[in-house]
Amino acid sequence: MTAAPRRALATLAAALLAASTTAPASGDEPVALGTPPATVSDPASFAGAASRVKFEQKLGSQVPLGATFVDEEGSETTLGACLGKRPAVLALVFHRCPLLCNQVLAGLTRSLKPMPLQAGVDFDVLAVSIDPEDTPESAAKKKAGYLERYDRPGSEAGWKFLTGRKESIDALCEAVGFSYSRNPATGQYAHAAGIVVLTPGGQAAQYFFGIDYPTKEVDAAIRRAAEGRTGSKIAALLLLCYDYDSATGKYTLSIVRALRAFGTLTALSLGLYLFLMFRREFRGRPGGGDARGGDAGAAAAGDGPGT
């Protein structure tokens, strides 16, 4: 086997491993706030909660600048105080989220890291919890983990992890079209995945859905927002996070299955690539041509002198 197939085979093995298990990175651990109730998730309840989850694109909508929150240092602030100087990227998450919020923040960090623009200099990041029970302490843990992953010295002031009261949370969510639903039995939330780029004045300028945000597109959206311009609506892929089923020790929804499906699709794509590459390599070997090539060779041999 040549070097190229060996490298491709190693890549395939890595993809299969990643699809089956992924260790949480710093900042990805759900922050526990006591033991969740031992309640089995009700499929009917889940269906009802999921039907109320939306992420509507309200381009140009104004966030409530007077809404009060508490930052990761325990200081009370307003959205207006966190905005005004430069555009911001808004992520609505909660700290006890078992999976999807971590994927949103990880995807955002992965998108921002290679960007020529820098958080705290050219734009800010606002990670606002939708859970009133989240605290500045849990916000500080999250911020420390994602700052470590971002690894851009001097950007600390550009990241805010805010917690607040329900009325402030709901006012912000309403402004940007983020509808979520809480399961009172478990305290977990059904919510969608995505981020919103805001202008310095706090208007919604661009939406990105899912858990992967192309760096060039986010960069362009931030630059437009810095000039007060909004983008256009995009097709929405709605990923949904729901609650933990303590009876089975599993998370009920589908984001786990969705991520596994994405991993499997990646592995299958690599497998197809390997198949085509091996087939091409085989055909390139002596005697490995197709039947038509063999017939042509035989005919050419028979056309020599003496025929």
Is the pLDDT at 23 greater than 60, yes or no?
no
Within the chain, residue ranges assigned H as helices are 3-20, 43-51, 79-82, 100-112, 136-150, 166-176, 215-226, 255-284, 291-302
Fold classified for 31-253: Glutaredoxin (3.40.30)
Please list, residue by residue across 23-60, b when 16 or more beta carbons sit within 10 angstroms of its beta carbon and e when fewer do: eeeebbebbeeeebeebebeeebbeebeeebebebbbe
pLDDT band at 242 (very low <50, low <70, confident <90, very high): low
Mean pLDDT (whole number) for 98-113? 91
So what's the pLDDT on residue 127?
98
User: What's the sign of the alpha-carbon dihedral 243, 104, 156, 173?
Assistant: negative
**Mean of all residue pLDDT scores within the chain:** 78
Give the count of beta carbons closer than 10 Å to the beta carbon of residue 301: 9
Mean pLDDT (whole number) for 85-114? 93
Q: How many whole angstroms separate alpha carbon 46 and alpha carbon 136? A: 29
Mean pLDDT (whole number) for 85-107? 91
Helix axes 215-226, 100-112, angle to 10 degrees: 80
So what's the pLDDT on residue 86?
97
Residue among 174, 109, 175, 189 at smallest CA distance from 145: 109
**How far from chain centre, in Å, is Cα 25?**
14
Higher pLDDT, 1 or 93: 93
Higher pLDDT, 186 or 290: 186
pLDDT band at 156 (very low <50, low <70, confident <90, very high): very high
Amino acid at 113: K
Is the pLDDT at 195 greater than 60, yes or no?
yes
Residue among 209, 206, 234 at smallest CA distance from 220: 206
Is the pLDDT at 74 greater than 80, yes or no?
yes
So what's the pLDDT on residue 285?
67
Q: Among 40-54, 138-152, 179-193, 269-283, which stretch is predicted with the lowest mean pLDDT?
A: 40-54
Mean pLDDT (whole number) for 7-23? 42
pLDDT band at 227 (very low <50, low <70, confident <90, very high): very high
So what's the pLDDT on residue 305?
47
User: What's the sign of the alpha-carbon dihedral 143, 147, 150, 155?
Assistant: positive
In order of 68, 101, 120, 126, the CA distances from 78 in angstroms are 4, 23, 17, 12
Is the pLDDT at 27 greater than 80, yes or no?
no
pLDDT band at 297 (very low <50, low <70, confident <90, very high): very low
> For the segment 116-152, what is each residue's pLDDT rounded down to a tens digit?
999 999 999 999 999 999 999 999 999 999 999 999 9
Domain boundaries, the chain: 1-26+262-289, 31-253
Mean pLDDT (whole number) for 211-224? 96
pLDDT band at 246 (very low <50, low <70, confident <90, very high): very low
So what's the pLDDT on residue 217?
96
Higher pLDDT, 38 or 59: 59
- Percent of residues, the chain, with pLDDT higher than 90: 50
Mean pLDDT (whole number) for 191-208? 96
So what's the pLDDT on residue 163?
98
